Chain A
Amino acid sequence: MSANARRTLSLCGRSALEILRDPLNLLFGLGFPLALLCLLHAIQLRAPVPLFELQHLTPGIAVFGLSFMALFSATLVSKDRGSAFLQRLYASPLTPLDFILGYTLPLLPLCLMQTLICYACACLLGLPLSGGLWLASLSSLPTGLFFVALGLFCGSLLSDKQVGGLCGALLTNLTAWLSGAWFDPSLAGGAFEKIASALPFLHAVEWARALLGGGGAALHGLVTCLYAALALLLAVWAFLYQMKRQ
């Protein structure tokens, strides 16, 4: 393994450990979406609503769960920026690319794992196991990349208190309301529906739903991937900007 790869992997390992060792991260990132899935499924059993059928609900909950990844990456970066630890690393042979990869890559397996756990829970509740389930789970990678990059962007520019409000409260609520996870934005219509269609959250959920159902929904996938690429570009810019400023 080259020295460059070793450097990047060391930073990746550190980021993963910092996130996994925070019990609040596990509680919010995994516990909350699973509790929501069970609760809405219980409602569906008592008063059947098509929106709450597992086939429809699970992809939405999985994408909602991924929105917490933005909070995790933003908090990690902003806390590092506020401490002298990042100064130590800036004075080391690590390159800007090492930093970007070190903060981004370790969260992608976490995204996949979180989504797989969400689908596994849905299967226990009665979601039939299918090939589409694996494809829907894989769609968590570009969707997760979008959230992680958005977190890196916010964490590079804002303090850890600010990212708590922005990524913790605002972004998770935006994802919940505008993704159609547990209600249909077309029912609200008008500007709300237009905004929901213009943002990636709804497309990410529709893409996962289509894949789970055995379909393709290439347009939804394309929009999600384009948003992920855009968020990554913004994150790289913001990180390099603060690196230079520090």
Chain B
Amino acid sequence: MQEAIRVSGLTKRYKRLTAVDHLNLQVHEGELLSLLGVNGAGKTTTVRMLCGLSRPSEGDAWIEGHSVLHEGAKVKPLIGISPQETAVAPNLTVRENLRLMAGVYGLRGEEGKEAVAKAVEEFGLREVLSRRAGRLSGGWQRRLSLAMALLGGPKVLFLDEPTLGLDVLARRELWHLILSLKGRVTTVLTTHYMEEAEALSDRIAILRSGRLLLTDSAAGVCERAGTADFSEAFARIVTGEVGL
């Protein structure tokens, strides 16, 4: 399997705090990897470094073979991001938000129209196409945010807590959309919802205090922790009840 992301010794320090500590990781093409950890584990900081939003203090990462540290301009067209908070232009309609992203990724007229039409179909946005993004419900905004992240045709997608604050139904709808991306787009997802990580991930990476504790499938994590319940397995690992 080809490598889409390679992380080598990635470290981020803020004065006395080490948010991410010598992280080593590989993500294969088309794979969905979830980053799990309690608050302050370094999940969002890792995503920010991989997206070029934050400069590593040490180490480097390569997206499709391009260094995030030295080849930012080559990395940016290859990635899409759906940040933790809903990142839409509130006074623009859904259609205008999508067109904006098509323009931002430099898509030509017809190419841009096709990309927007495809996103509208794929994410079922037709019924809200003319509504202002700021007036949509949280679920619709997240759906739009995801569609915007995919509009430039990224090879690698970063989803930072994509279902945070959504109700059960909206979360399930978003899960279906994320699952439909598997195999097509390499995805790195951060989440606090254990059932989400279990349902969506090919592999799970568990972080604690900026350090990678393990990378395995959900079943593998459970096996290592000696329990069939994934949430319990996670708790045992991050609290150190289970030696790794």
Q: Residues on A close to B: CB < 8 A?
A: 3-4, 6-7, 9-11, 13-14, 17-18, 21-22, 83-85, 87-94, 246
Contacts and interface: CB of A to CB of B under 8 A. Distances in A.
Nearest to B108: A6
A85 B89 contact: yes
Looking at chain A's contact residues, the main secondary structure is helix
A91 B76 contact: yes
B87 A94 contact: no
Interface string B134-165: 00000000000000110010000010000000
Contact of B87 (A3, A14, A18, A85): A85
B65 interface: no
Nearest to A86: B87
Contact of A92 (B86, B91, B104, B132): B104
Given A6-B107, A90-B53, 14 more contacts: A7-B104, A11-B103, A14-B89, A18-B92, A83-B85, A84-B85, A84-B86, A85-B87, A87-B53, A87-B81, A88-B82, A93-B73, A93-B106, A246-B53
Interface of B: 51-53, 73, 76-77, 79, 81-89, 91-92, 96, 99-108, 132, 148-149, 152, 158
Contacts of A88: 81-83, 87, 148-149
A14 B132 CA distance: 13
A18 B105 contact: no
Contacts, number: 78
Contact of A87 (B83, B99, B152): B83
A89 to B, nearest CB: 7
27 contacts: A3-B106, A7-B105, A7-B106, A9-B103, A10-B99, A10-B100, A10-B102, A10-B103, A11-B100, A11-B104, A14-B92, A14-B100, A21-B91, A21-B132, A22-B91, A83-B85, A84-B85, A87-B53, A87-B81, A87-B83, A87-B87, A88-B87, A88-B149, A89-B104, A92-B101, A92-B152, A246-B53
Nearest to B55: A244
B87 A84 contact: yes
A3 to B, nearest CB: 3
Given A3-B106, A6-B106, A14-B100, A91 B81 contact: yes
A91 B51 contact: yes
Contacts of B51: 91
Given A17-B92, A18-B92, A87-B81, A93 B104 contact: yes
Nearest to A14: B100
Contact of A17 (B53, B73, B91, B107): B91
A92 B105 contact: yes
A97 to B, nearest CB: 13
Contacts of A92: 76, 101, 104-105, 152
B143 to A, nearest CB: 15
Given A3-B106, A18-B92, A84-B86, A91 B52 contact: yes
